[in-house]
Each structure stands twice: as structure tokens, then as C-alpha cells.
Amino acid sequence: MDKSKALEIALVEWTASLKSRDRSRKSVRPNFEELFQKWKDLDGSFDDLYETLLPKAIKAHLPVPSVARSMYKSIKQKAALDKTEKEFIEEWNHSIEAAGTEAFFEFFPATTADHDPEPKTFGAMSATEYRAQRRYADQFPTLDTTELVKQWREQKEYNLDVETVLDDVLGDK
Amino acid sequence: MKFTPEQMLEQLKLAGKGPSAEVDISLAEIESFGDKDSLREMITDIGKYKKMLSERITFINDALSATIPFTRENLYLMCAYTGSGKSTVAANITYPLWQQKKKTLVISNEESKQDILFRIACLHLGMNFNDYKKGQMPNDDLLKVVGLFPEISEYVKVLDVTYQDGITTKVEGIKKALEAVKQEDSYSCVLIDYFQLIKYSIKDSKKTSYENLNDLRVWLGQYVKSSTMPVVLFAQLYSVSKKGGAKDIDTRIKDCSSIVEPATVIVEIVPNFENKTSEFIIHKDRFGMAGKKIVCGFERGRYTMVSDDEVAQRALEGKLAAAANKLSSLEAYGNVKT
């Protein structure tokens, strides 16, 4: 199976499992860690996950608004709370996002995209990168376009008289 | 102002909150396939496709046009590593279209509108666009270039990132622009530079970049099937060494590699600085050329046709130039006594 598909399926499975999991504060990080371990086992990388699947995982762990609101009400009834409902929910969401992101960076250390410390001597490429690109391009055979170009230039009757074709095909249909 | 229930429904629909349309496919509709109207529609579409082929619209140069017909109902994904020539290729696609008096829409989140016209004018006049960027273009030349702007802009329409506060970076903005030119029916091509920068949504600011790119990808798949012109979409690649030299293009497309699915043609651009050539590697096409590359010369910003002998000659000259450079740098360091 394609790696990106496998990573996505792992996320879907994990998201579904969240319904029956303990999602209290102490379990947030272990929940994320379980998913990140799965991703690591599937050979996922920082670039495969950071911009695409991590935000989805965090979003999946956030409390649904109705649950968050009723939690706010229930806490407020029991104790003095100096936060508005909006502040309370935002803080809750941020703490989940922070826990998930922090754990993610431990599993998948950040890499600077395409960071190459060598000086750029070939356009935006270093000599090493350029050589790698040359080796890569050399794998592909060159197409001889002489005959194709000749045919293309000689093409004269390419147009189609639609009305005639319609008459021929449809007739009195 | 009081709305009638129908008007209310219309308003909700406009706000994207209306009830979802009921799915209704009747057996009669299915059975109507093959009747006079549907046959007429299909044959007319074939005629339009053939008409576009007969116009022989140039795709960069004759070698590429002959290999990859440039026609409607196709999404051409042009991929390159940063700095490998995406904007130059965009200008090389637009330039022959302008010469053939074909209207093109260029949606660019990368270059400004004046730079896009400047590049095309430079190609026409045989001038070096980079001289302008480096401030080395004489004023007389600059005036010649700018003098072509009215003529070029008659056929080359540009929406750049400054248009309507960056609407071209938003999925909805791209959709609207593409729908508009489709209705007009006088456009021969749309270019979008580049895919990964269309990562925002007007409707839902909470959506991730990936979700927005994926939405656009799905929508483009539908759009090109009935498009009246070819759509060229540029995409940025990860470097080859970062992905271990993988031959597979989808592992190297940044951010949303599923764009390979709706693309009917995928071409990667790889410059060869030593030979002054560029290679166009065909990764996907409908014409049986995938897995091969076309080598083009690169002169004054233009991708030209070159013969095998010329490529070999350029390679030799490139090696000689590299050796001469190496020698002079060694001499400069005093490692070689002359």
C-alpha cells in the first residue's frame, strides 16, 4: 500500500478509537504518542506528516463544542472560575494542541525543508544537489522527436466537419 | 425586507447553507444515453477536440508540441525543484500562444503581473530577463520591452497575488477565475503558478493547507473533464537527494501529492547548467511517452529544439568549460604553477 495512504488510514483508525478512549488531560499525550508510534512504524517522516496529518490529528482530539460548553458550565457551578466560556474552551484546545505538537517533535524532529548548507552554485542548487539531480535525470532515456515533429508539421487534414458526421451517423434518427 | 420561502432558500444557497441538492437519477435518464441528443453532444465534443488539435497550438516548442498535444480536457502538471525554471516555462508556454493570438489566463502567486509580461516581451526581443532583475538592462531596451505590454496584455491576462488581496491564494478564487474563463470560451489556455501556494479558503479559515489543496485537486479533476482549454498547473518538488533519488514523482510533490491523480500529463523540468539544456521528463501522459525525456536547448530564456549531435557537442563544451573553471580556480589558489 502507498505510504501516504497507510499513514492516513492509521489516523482514521486512531480517530475512531478516540471515542472510547480516556481523553482527560493526563491521557492526551499518551493518546498522541500511540498514533505517532504507529506513524513511525509506517516509516512516516516529518515532511509526510507535519503540514498534512498532524493538524488533522490535533483537530480530532479537540473536544466537541457541546462537550466543552457543558464542561465549562459544570466546573463553573462547582467552583469559582475567572474565565469566560470562550477563554476556557480556547485554553483547553490550546493545551491539547501543545501536547500533541510537543510529542510530535519528539518523534519526528523538525527538518528544515531542503536545507542544504553548501553554497548554491547551480541556480538554487548546491553542487551536491545538482549532481544528484543530474544522476536522476540521466536515468530517463531521451526521446527522438524527429519523426514526431515531422508528422506534426505535416498534419493538414485534422479538422472534422461535425455537421457532416452528425448527418452520417444520426441520419434520420 | 421580508423574504418569501423561495427567496429565503435562494439566500441560504448563496451562503452555502442551503439544503443539499437531492440526488435524482431516473432510469429514463440512464436509458436516454445513446439517443439523438446525447450522440449529438458527444460528436460535437469530438469535433471541438479535433478543432483544437487542428489549430496545432504550440506547447513550448515543436518537439514538445509533437510529443504532448496541447489540448482541452487536459490538466498538465509541470513540476520542478525550486529555481529550476517554473516561471521560465510559464513564459515559454505563454509566448507562442500570444504569437498565435490565443488568449491565455495566467494566475500567478509567484511573480508579479509586470514581471510576467516582461518575461514574454524579453523572449520576443531576445533580451535577458535577468538583466532587468539585476538592474543591468539599459533604459532603451527597457522601453522596448514595456512598449510591447499593450500588445501582449491584449492576449495575456494576468491575475497576480496582489489581485483582490491575494484571492489567487484561495481555493475559491481559483475556482471562480477558472469558471469565468470557461464561460467566455475564447481562452486557449490557463496557467496556474503554483499549486502549493493555493492553500487558503475563504469559506473555512480553519481548514489546513492540505485540506484546501486536496479540495482544489478534486475540483480540478472535475473541471478539466469539461474544460474548453488546457489547464497548466505548476507544482514544486522536493529535491532529489531529499527523497533518495526516487524515480517516482508523487513522493517528491510537496504538500499534496494526490494532485497526480487528476493530472493527465505530468512533466518534470530538470535544467542542465553545464550543457545549457533543460530536460523535460514525461512522468505521465495519454500518448505513450511516459518514462522518457525530451532535451531542449536553453538560449536567452527560450527552450529550443536541439539535435542529438548538438546535445553531445554542448556536453563536450560543458565539460571543457567546467575543466577550465577548475583549472583557473586551482591557479588562483596557487596550487598549480604556470
pLDDT in tens, A140-157: 999 988 888 988 888 765
Per-residue pLDDT at B247: 66
Contacts of B307 in chain A (CB under 8 A): 146
Asked whether residue B79 is assigned to any structural domain, the reply reads yes
Q: What does each of the 338 residues of chain B score in pLDDT, given as a tens digit?
A: 556 666 666 666 555 555 555 677 788 888 888 888 888 888 888 887 777 777 778 899 999 999 998 888 899 999 999 888 899 999 999 999 999 999 999 999 988 999 999 999 999 999 999 899 889 999 999 999 999 999 999 999 999 888 887 888 999 999 999 999 988 778 999 999 989 999 888 888 777 888 889 999 999 999 998 888 999 999 999 888 765 556 678 888 888 888 999 999 999 999 998 888 999 999 999 888 899 999 999 988 999 998 888 888 888 887 788 788 778 877 877 765 54
Secondary element (H or E) of residue B298:
strand B293-299
Identify the burial level of B50 via C-beta atoms within 10 angstroms of its C-beta, where 0-12 means exposed, 13-18 middle and 19 or more buried: middle
ipTM of the complex: 0.78
Per-residue pLDDT at A54: 92
User: CA of A117 to nearest chain B CA: how many angstroms apart?
Assistant: 13
Cell of A3: 505510504
Nearest to B280, CA basis, from B124, B93, B150: B93
pTM for the whole thing? 0.71
* A41-44, Cβ contacts within 8 angstroms, sequence gap of 24 or more: A42/A3, A42/A6, A42/A7, A42/A10, A43/A3, A44/A3, A44/A7, A44/A108
CATH of the domain at B176: 3.40.50.300
Q: Taking a contact as any Cβ pair under 8 Å apart, which residues of chain A between 36 and 95 contact chain B?
A: 47, 51-53, 55-56
CB neighbours of residue B243 within 10 Å: 18
Per-residue pLDDT at A15: 93
User: CA of A34 to nearest chain B CA: how many angstroms apart?
Assistant: 23
| Gap between the terminal Cα atoms of chain B | 93
Asked whether residue B218 is assigned to any structural domain, the reply reads yes
CA–CA separation, B164 vs B174, rounded Å?
12
Per-residue pLDDT at B22: 65
Asked whether residue B201 is assigned to any structural domain, the reply reads yes
Between the ranges A70-84, A152-166, B64-78, where is the mean pLDDT highest?
Answer: B64-78
Amino acid at A32: F
| Confidence class for position A163, pLDDT limits 50, 70, 90 | confident
Cell of B208: 489546513
CA–CA separation, A92 vs B102, rounded Å?
56
Asked whether residue B154 is assigned to any structural domain, the reply reads yes
Pair A69, A140: CB distance under 8 Å: no
The full DSSP string for B31-53 is HTTTSHHHHHHHHHHHHHHHHHH
Nearest to B58, CA basis, from B67, B48, B50: B67
Per-residue pLDDT at B5: 65
Per-residue pLDDT at B242: 67
3-state secondary structure of A33: helix
Contacts of A136 in chain B (CB under 8 A): 240, 245, 247, 270
Residues A124, B46: C-beta atoms closer than 8 Å:
no
CA–CA separation, B329 vs B274, rounded Å?
17
Nearest CA in chain B to A131: B241
| Confidence class for position A80, pLDDT limits 50, 70, 90 | confident
Contacts of B256 in chain A (CB under 8 A): 52
Asked whether residue B306 is assigned to any structural domain, the reply reads no
User: CA of A25 to nearest chain B CA: how many angstroms apart?
Assistant: 24
Asked whether residue B228 is assigned to any structural domain, the reply reads yes
Nearest CA in chain A to B308: A144
Per-residue pLDDT at B107: 95
Q: How many CB pairs under 8 A join A and B?
A: 139
Asked whether residue B117 is assigned to any structural domain, the reply reads yes
Nearest to B13, CA basis, from B24, B3, B2, B25: B3
Q: What is the pLDDT of residues A6-15, one digit of tens each?
A: 999 999 999 9
Asked whether residue B19 is assigned to any structural domain, the reply reads no
CA–CA separation, B235 vs B283, rounded Å?
14
Per-residue pLDDT at B156: 95
CB neighbours of residue A39 within 10 Å: 23
A125, A169, A172, best to mutate vs chain B, most B CBs in 10 Å: A125
Per-residue pLDDT at A102: 83
Please count the structural domains in chain B: 1
CA–CA separation, B211 vs A56, rounded Å?
9
In this prediction, what percent of chain A has a pLDDT beyond 70? 91
Is A139 touching B (CB cutoff 8 A)? yes
Whole-angstrom CA distances from B186 to A8, A60, B97 are 42, 46, 13
Residue B112: give the domain boundaries.
Answer: 35-267
Per-residue pLDDT at A152: 84
